[in-house]
Amino acid sequence: MPQDTLRQGEELLGIYRNHPGSWNEAILVTDRGLHLLRPGGSTILDYAEMQAPRRVGEKTEIQSLDIPLRRGQCVRLPVLGRRGRLLDSLEFLRFLDRVREDLAYETQDEAG
């Protein structure tokens, strides 16, 4: 079960499946970050570690996002779905941008 990959105290908010009926390349959305499930393990992307995500490819055909991390790595996050002309990858991009904005706002509030 994918919930086994969650860290202690981490809350699962939702699951995005790139391949219906399969956990391969599924994305777990939690209160602390994203878990990209792959054969052999998962990659954890904490929201606080993420820098500005970038689209990969032409705007009308984006199927993944590059997410640079503060520790110097960059993780390619596949987001393959679409509904007609609406790309799920652009919805993920908007979501991650809002999360980063909220974290920046919280950091400013704490600083004074």
pLDDT tens readout for residues 70-82: 999 999 999 999 9
pLDDT at residue number 87:
94
Separation between Cα atoms, residue 40 and residue 26, nearest integer Å: 13
Residue 108 has pLDDT above 70, yes or no: no
| Distance in angstroms between the alpha carbons of the first and the last residue of the chain | 42
What distances in angstroms separate CA 31 from CA 8, 47, 52, 68, one per listed residue? Answer: 12, 9, 18, 19
Give tens-digit pLDDT for 28-62: 999 999 999 998 889 999 999 999 999 998 878 89
Residue 1 has pLDDT above 80, yes or no: no
Query: What domain count does the chain have?
Result: 1
pTM above 0.85, yes or no: yes
Separation between Cα atoms, residue 22 and residue 17, nearest integer Å: 7
| Domain range enclosing 95 | 2-111
Domain with residue 9: its CATH number is 2.30.29
pLDDT at residue number 5:
82
Give me the mean pLDDT over the 95-108 stretch: 86
Return the SS3 of 23.
Answer: coil
Confidence of residue 110 (pLDDT cuts 50, 70, 90): low
- C-alpha dihedral (96, 36, 73, 107), degrees to nearest 10: 40
Helix (H) / strand (E) containing 56: strand 54-56
